[in-house]
Amino acid sequence: MALSRGYTNFGLQPARRAHMVNWADGEIGPMIDATAGIIPDPDVSPAPFEATTGEKRKREGKFRSRVWLHFTRLEKRPGEREECQCNHCGQFYACSSRCGTTHLNRHIFDGGCPKYKPPPSDSQTPTVHARENFEDILNGIHLRVDQTDSQINSNNKETLEQMEAQARLTEENTKLKEDCAKLQEEKHKIVTREEFMRLEARVSKLKEDFEKDRRGFPAAAVAALAQIHKNR
């Protein structure tokens, strides 16, 4: 095949024109013009222009998972989370990039949707599940970190509530013990008072008996002396 004009005989490189330029030291030397136009071959049709940049940008916003055939992404409002709605039962789910699609796959392909039953040919293989789970792991790191922080705060709150409840219970137990001690003390006082009253009654009776004996002693003594004198 004859070579077109403008190409060299080695590798079909485009011909370049040489022109003279002034160097920094004032000398004049040849300079290769790398921007010379390529003389096209009339027998070869030019390749079509492909706008790859635009296609890549379009592919970036495309949802690759087939689960999006069953969900409609809703418009996000300021201050609210991104949500999507099931096309079959109307249930709402979070659908941000950090949430992943595992919960959506379970809803559609694992029997979670009450109004859609996937055919056997539409069931996912373990490989697909593993790949999507791996993507969810990569995309959900920040979400899980946020959930972990929230869970830690919730656990701290529950711990504080339990400590407060334990403190209240301890205080109530202390008051109950004090009340029981007071009751025991009052009961002891009552028993002691009753015993004192019994002792006081016995002492009173002893006093009465002593007075009787003391009063009757002179008369008995006089009668005894008179009897002794009479016997003499």
What are the backbone dihedrals phi and psi of residue 180, each rounded to the nearest 5 degrees, phi first? -65, -40
DSSP 78-100: TTS--EEEETTT--EEE--TTT-
Cβ of 71: how many Cβ atoms within 10 Å? Answer: 23
Rounded to 5°, the CA angle 32-37-41 comes to: 125
pTM: 0.29
- How do residues 2-18 score in pLDDT, each as one tens digit? 444 444 444 444 444 44
d(CA 34, CA 89): 64
Q: For the chain, what are the domain ranges? A: 64-145, 176-221
Residue 228 pLDDT grade (very low, low, confident, very high; cuts 50, 70, 90): confident
In the predicted structure, residue 88 carries a pLDDT above the cut 90? yes
d(CA 30, CA 121): 70
d(CA 139, CA 221): 123
Half-sphere exposure of 40 (CA within 13 A, CB side): 6
For residues 25 and 99, the model is more confident at 99
